[in-house]
Amino acid sequence: MAAKGVNLERFPRVSLCHRPTPLEPLERLSAHLGGPRLFVKRDDCTGLATGGNKTRKLEFLLADALAQGADTVITMGGPQSNHARQTAAAAARLGLKCELVLPRISKWHGPLYDTNGNVLLDRMLGATVHIVENTDEAATRVVEVSDRVREDGGKPYFVPIGGSTALGALGYVDAVVELLRQVDAAGLRIDAMVVTTGSCSTHAGILAGLEALDRPERVIGISIFHPADEAEATVRSRVTETCELMRVTPRRVDERVMVQGEYIGAGYGQPTEAMREAVTLAARLEGLLLDPVYTGKTMSGLVDLVRREFFKPSENVVFWHTGGMPAIFVYEPVFSSIG
């Protein structure tokens, strides 16, 4: 049984997520690239306000908030944060107030960046949105908002950017157990997985789950924010913390952490031509919608790695689709010239 070595029942959890999410072959993209057989794990189908990977993390994080008696959830992210949108949706589902502090962490800024896409959905979901100029101002605003909630008789609960804690990473320990059950049931063999490495807890949760299960699958992270060495250090730290939380002894963390940092381009949230090609390929060959900030750049990394023969032709590779579709609409100028 794939779940041997993983027991998450002692951790409080709320139900927010559609699962299992589908595991689908990318047959036309595989044929087009002429490399390994590609699959996609559809965590864009988790179901909460257009879905995404953060919903799995929020099941554990907001259970903790409720256990502490919180009535207001506060979190941070860029204006087009998928994490912020899913936090707002989860708070609405659970009857909690939500305050989103959104610093401008990307230098790219289209005409609808502050009003459409995820920001529009945040407001529709009932969150109070604070768009600020930088992370220093955001940190100050979080303190101010927390103090105001307390002064009004409420109890705030702060969720870090991306839900990136060991507790949040349990969502992806559970997710990799789910994936491996699907793989085993289908009689498949998965050799490698490719995942976005941003705030790092999705990547870390997958690795922590594989460590707990003593499984050999490789995990390649595609960084969309930090240089590869910084991202790898954060992933290692988060894997260790998550294993400690699960009371699991990690065996091969140092050798297993792998992050590719050459697909960021000019910076977080700034478009690249490779991203644009990858988003277009996924849409036109598979009917699969990716976003410009996270999954689009991750797919551009996967496409390049296949073309560079990083994988053997006989291998099976899973692309983790972590969601993010609403951001496509604020990046319309990037895609408007596509024929």
Separation CA 30–CA 37 (nearest Å):
6
The verdict on whether 336 is a catalytic residue reads no
Tell me how crowded residue 89 is: count the other CB atoms within 10 A of its CB.
Answer: 27
264 sits in the region (left: phi over 0; alpha: psi -120 to 50; else beta) called alpha
Name residue, tokens 């100028």: 333
Q: Are 297 and 275 in contact (CB under 8 A)?
A: yes
- Using DSSP's 3-state secondary structure scheme, residue 60 falls into helix
The vertex-201 CA angle with 199 and 202, nearest 5°, equals 105
For 40, list phi and psi in degrees, rounded to 5: -125, 130
User: Which strand ranges, in their side-by-side order, compose the sheet holding 72-76?
Assistant: 128-132, 97-103, 72-76, 156-159
Q: Give CA–CA dist 37/26, Å, rounded.
A: 8
- Catalytic residue selected from 81, 164, 199, 300: 81
Indicate which residues carry an active-site annotation: 81
